[in-house]
């Protein structure tokens, strides 16, 4: 016998939905739609309009994309983002894996070191940036200036075009790598201790343990962190903005600071939205690969 | 056939419906209540009620205390039915917050912006009230210096009153100059002599930097454009009569490029903060500093620390044939009335207080550096009672020169936004030898022409 219809005369598909998980998803979905989807769609639309933020927008088709693709700063910013991605895919992940495994091995002081590594992550980015700018890099009031007393004159790395981007990236690295260390440590702890013990009994050295047991075991976590790093690298903004605002002479300009300048200094929202779409495009590629990898691992 | 389950669900449904019905009833009554309350309150708010000012430039606790004491309390004492509520926005992005709020129809009654090019966008999108009637009512056109007042004009109406007027001057270490028997330079030749002599002694000629304010680059561009190319040429270029690629501008930028590349700016231009620049000058490790009158407080504080003597002089004329002294006018911030203000009359009364001698007397004692109102009544004798003689002398000379027509145009007041942004960042490429002066001015002209065709250039007042 068919299930009796409930809620009076409502059609069956609604009752099916009501029975499903939808009511539980609705609140989060509503917030997502209002705060993420709608503004996202508006940004995509804005990339094809010309708007100064105050008057009425005017449709301009692909003009905004033409504007950004003929701006040499756009390509140097894109290249800076790629450099940033390469830096963050290698150094902090290697440091995080190493530190995580050290935390795993150490019994005593484990909590203490976890806290020490994680502390920079929880300090506000502006504070971190100002400390590095004023107390470390500054040639008058910082560590760089202190070397003058020993006869070594160093230039402020933030002010030389060849080193500006790397100087900013170093600050973000210092701020960020502890997060990865803690994440990887948590992942290591999920590894079946029997496997580790078996390897140790078989006479594996520390590096062999890492290479053959630990890292393969936490591969899903590493993959996730790699994809997130790629996405976050294209979003990098705060340290560049506070430390150099993209200077000197656009040497440390990244796509998000470029977008910000277009929007809030030049008051041209169209190109800003176009740059934002380019950023999202790279994020989308990374997400696509992540989903593919996940599906493949699911099959296995 | 109804099962037990369906019976229960049926009851549940009835209960839910009953609850909803009750809720709707409550809702309806609540709505009626609020509407009536709003109606009664709003009718009284048209005549009385607080007016708001969002102070866009930010301020530390001491400065906030000064604002309360000198700006808010005396006004509120005189206007108890329309008191002023002051909101000090954190410095840096206050102007963007105000702009967003005003555009969305909310925002403060009194709109404070960082200058005419920001105000222009708000005027064009019809968010600011024309102030002509209030100017006449309170005689503000007689109380505010005319060329500065006119920076707020657009299409025949005035929309913004200038809150600070500022200019670029040459600060110098008087102790150092006296020791070497130098007088502050008045011409390019004199400037060259002193700068070369300083370099020979391993002293940085100009203590400048953009470590904490990247836009400091435009101070120096303003200086060479006004004091080499001259205000008449700038006026023509801003009206579109000559291009920015004109040879006189190219020569001006070359002067600036040479200063940087010869080492007149020192090695740490991109790292030095305002405080550090002032301190270097005060210690005698630098000889001069082209900077704005807005940095007066900084300089005075630094020189107090080291005990050396501060000197201020007008910036030298860099090309023969130009008058001396020239003061480039900067309107560091403006005050307007929000078109959506519920109480524009009270806002105007506040502006009347703002430009009064009573207020200027109070604020110049406590915080002169940021509140240089362009009043016609600025008098050296009166001013020296409250501020250092050197500040009084500089300001009186500045206002006199402006009143006589010897004024120029700072880039942050008279340039449209995208051109100004390129001016700031592009000059770094010129300094670092990445692009040529021709390329720099060519790109600037391109951006300027586009903004001009879009009506984004704030029109300069006739000379």
**Residues B47-82: pLDDT tens digits?**
577 889 998 877 778 888 989 999 999 999 999 899
Asked if the model's pLDDT at residue A7 lies above 60, the reply is no
Q: Are B408 and B206 in contact (CB under 8 A)?
A: no
CB pairs under 8 A between A and B: 83
pLDDT at B38: 46
Best of A248, A269, A272 to substitute, by most chain B Cβ atoms within 10 angstroms, is A248
Structure ipTM over 0.90, yes or no: no
Best of B7, B107, B121, B211 to substitute, by most chain A Cβ atoms within 10 angstroms, is B211
Asked if the model's pLDDT at residue B457 lies above 50, the reply is yes
CA-CA distance, B270 to A244, in Å (whole number)? 9
Q: Is B426 exposed, middle or buried (0-12, 13-18, 19+ CB in 10 A)?
A: buried
Q: Is B14 an 8 Å CB contact of chain A?
A: no
Contacts (Cβ under 8 Å, ≥6 apart) of B439 = none
pLDDT, greater one: A7 or B94: B94
Q: How confident is the model at residue B116 (pLDDT cuts 50, 70, 90)?
A: confident
pLDDT at B42: 42
pLDDT tens digits for A198-218? Answer: 998 998 888 888 888 889 999
Nearest to B428 among A55, A248, A261 (CB): A248
Q: Is B462 exposed, middle or buried (0-12, 13-18, 19+ CB in 10 A)?
A: exposed
**B121 with A139: Cβ contact below 8 A:** no
Cβ neighbours of A7 in B, within 8 Å: 9, 13
pLDDT at A150: 87
**B271 with A249: Cβ contact below 8 A:** no
Cβ neighbours of B429 in A, within 8 Å: 249-250
CA-CA distance, B340 to B98, in Å (whole number)? 13
**Structure tokens that stand for A181 in this block:** 């260390």
Q: Is B112 exposed, middle or buried (0-12, 13-18, 19+ CB in 10 A)?
A: buried
Percent of all residues in chain A with a pLDDT value above 70, rounded to a whole number: 97
pLDDT at B16: 54
Q: How far is A120 from chain B (nearest CA, A)?
A: 23
Helix axes B116-124, B94-103, angle to 10 degrees: 10
Q: Which of residues 147-166 of A touch B (CB under 8 A)?
A: 155-156, 158-159, 161
Q: Is B232 exposed, middle or buried (0-12, 13-18, 19+ CB in 10 A)?
A: exposed
**B434 with A249: Cβ contact below 8 A:** yes
Nearest to B418 among A137, A158, A266 (CB): A266
Contacts (Cβ under 8 Å, ≥6 apart) of A149 = none
Q: Is B43 an 8 Å CB contact of chain A?
A: no
Query: Looking at chain A, which residue has its C-alpha nearest residue B120?
Result: A54
Q: Which of residues 155-194 of B touch A (CB under 8 A)?
A: none
pLDDT tens digits for B221-254? Answer: 999 999 999 999 999 999 999 999 999 999 999 9
The distance in angstroms from the start CA to the end CA of chain A is 41
**A54 with B103: Cβ contact below 8 A:** yes
Q: How far is A289 from chain B (nearest CA, A)?
A: 37
Q: Which of residues 421-450 of B touch A (CB under 8 A)?
A: 421, 425, 428-429, 431-432, 434
Dihedrals phi, psi of A253, to nearest 5 degrees? -70, 130
pLDDT at B40: 45
Cβ neighbours of A52 in B, within 8 Å: 121, 456
Question: Residues B181-215, buried b or exposed e (16+ Cβ, 10 A)?
Answer: ebebbeebeebeebbeebeeeebbbbbbbbbbebb
Q: How far is B122 from chain A (nearest CA, A)?
A: 7
Q: How far is A142 from chain B (nearest CA, A)?
A: 11
Cis peptide upstream of residue B411 (ω within 30 degrees of 0): no
């Amino acid at each position: 016998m068919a299930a009796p219809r409930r809620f009076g005369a409502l059609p069956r598909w609604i009752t099916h939905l009501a029975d499903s998980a939808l009511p539980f998803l609705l609140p989060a979905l509503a917030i997502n739609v209002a705060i993420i989807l709608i503004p996202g769609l508006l940004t995509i639309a804005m990339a094809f309009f010309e708007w100064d933020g105050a008057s009425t927008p005017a449709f301009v088709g692909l003009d905004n994309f033409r504007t950004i693709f003929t701006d040499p700063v756009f390509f140097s910013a894109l290249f800076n983002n790629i450099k940033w991605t390469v830096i963050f895919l290698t150094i902090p992940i290697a440091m995080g894996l190493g530190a995580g495994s050290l935390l795993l091995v150490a019994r005593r002081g484990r909590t203490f070191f976890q806290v020490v590594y994680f502390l920079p992550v929880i300090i506000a980015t502006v504070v971190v940036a100002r400390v590095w700018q004023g107390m470390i890099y500054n040639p008058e009031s910082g560590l760089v200036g202190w070397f003058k007393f020993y006869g070594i004159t160093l230039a402020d790395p933030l002010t030389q075009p060849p080193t500006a981007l790397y100087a900013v990236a170093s600050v973000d690295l210092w701020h960020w790598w502890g997060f990865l260390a803690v994440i990887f440590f948590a992942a290591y702890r999920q590894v079946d201790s029997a496997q580790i013990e078996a390897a140790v009994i078989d006479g594996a050295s520390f590096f062999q343990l890492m290479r053959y047991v630990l890292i393969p075991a936490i591969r899903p976590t590493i993959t996730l962190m790699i994809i997130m790093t790629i996405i976050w690298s294209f979003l990098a903004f705060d340290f560049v903005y506070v430390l150099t605002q993209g200077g000197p002479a656009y040497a440390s300009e990244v796509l998000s600071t470029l977008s910000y300048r277009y929007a809030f200094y030049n008051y041209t929202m169209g190109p800003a939205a176009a740059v934002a779409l380019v950023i999202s495009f790279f994020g989308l590629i990374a997400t696509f690969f992540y989903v593919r990898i996940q599906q493949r691992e699911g099959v296995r | 056939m109804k099962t037990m389950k369906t019976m229960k669900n049926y009851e549940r449904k009835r209960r839910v419906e009953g609850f909803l019905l009750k809720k709707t009833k409550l809702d309806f009554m609540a709505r009626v209540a609020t509407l009536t309350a709003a109606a009664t309150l709003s009718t009284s708010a048209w005549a009385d009620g607080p007016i708001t000012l969002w102070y866009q430039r930010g301020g530390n606790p001491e400065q906030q205390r000064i604002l309360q004491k000198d700006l808010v309390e005396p006004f509120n004492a005189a206007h108890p039915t329309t008191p002023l509520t002051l909101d000090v926005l954190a410095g840096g992005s206050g102007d963007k917050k105000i702009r967003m709020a005003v555009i969305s129809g909310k925002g403060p009654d009194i709109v404070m912006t960082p200058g005419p090019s920001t105000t222009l966008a708000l005027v064009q999108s019809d968010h600011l009230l024309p102030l002509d009637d209030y100017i006449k009512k309170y005689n503000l056109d007689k109380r505010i210096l005319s060329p500065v007042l006119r920076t707020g004009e657009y299409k025949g109406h005035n929309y913004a009153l200038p809150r600070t007027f500022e200019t670029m001057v040459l600060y110098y270490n008087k102790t150092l100059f006296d020791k070497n028997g130098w007088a502050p330079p008045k011409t390019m030749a004199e400037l060259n002599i002193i700068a070369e002599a300083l370099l020979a002694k391993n002293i940085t000629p100009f203590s400048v930097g953009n470590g904490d304010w990247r836009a400091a680059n435009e101070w120096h561009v303003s200086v060479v454009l006004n004091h080499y190319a001259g205000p008449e040429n700038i006026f023509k270029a801003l009206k579109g009569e000559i291009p920015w690629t004109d040879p006189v501008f190219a020569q001006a930028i070359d002067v600036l490029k040479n200063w940087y590349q010869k080492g007149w700016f020192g090695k740490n231009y991109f790292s030095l903060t305002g405080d550090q620049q002032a301190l270097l000058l005060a210690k005698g490790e630098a000889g001069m500093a082209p900077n704005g009158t807005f940095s007066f407080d900084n300089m005075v504080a630094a020189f107090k620390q080291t005990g050396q003597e501060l000197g201020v002089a007008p910036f030298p004329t860099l090309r023969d044939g130009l008058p001396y002294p020239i003061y480039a006018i900067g309107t560091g911030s403006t005050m307007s009335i929000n078109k959506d203000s519920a109480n524009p009359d009270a806002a105007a009364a506040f502006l009347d207080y703002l430009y009064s001698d009573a207020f200027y007397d109070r604020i110049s004692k406590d915080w002169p550096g940021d509140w240089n109102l362009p009043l016609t009544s600025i008098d050296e004798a009166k001013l020296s009672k409250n501020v250092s003689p050197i500040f009084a002398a500089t300001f009186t000379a500045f206002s006199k020169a402006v009143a006589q027509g010897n004024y120029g145009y700072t880039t942050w007041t008279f340039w449209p936004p995208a051109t100004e942004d390129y001016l700031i960042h592009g000059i770094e490429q010129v300094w670092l030898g990445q692009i040529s002066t021709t390329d720099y001015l060519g790109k600037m002209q391109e951006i300027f022409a586009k903004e001009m065709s879009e009506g984004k250039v704030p029109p300069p007042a006739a000379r």
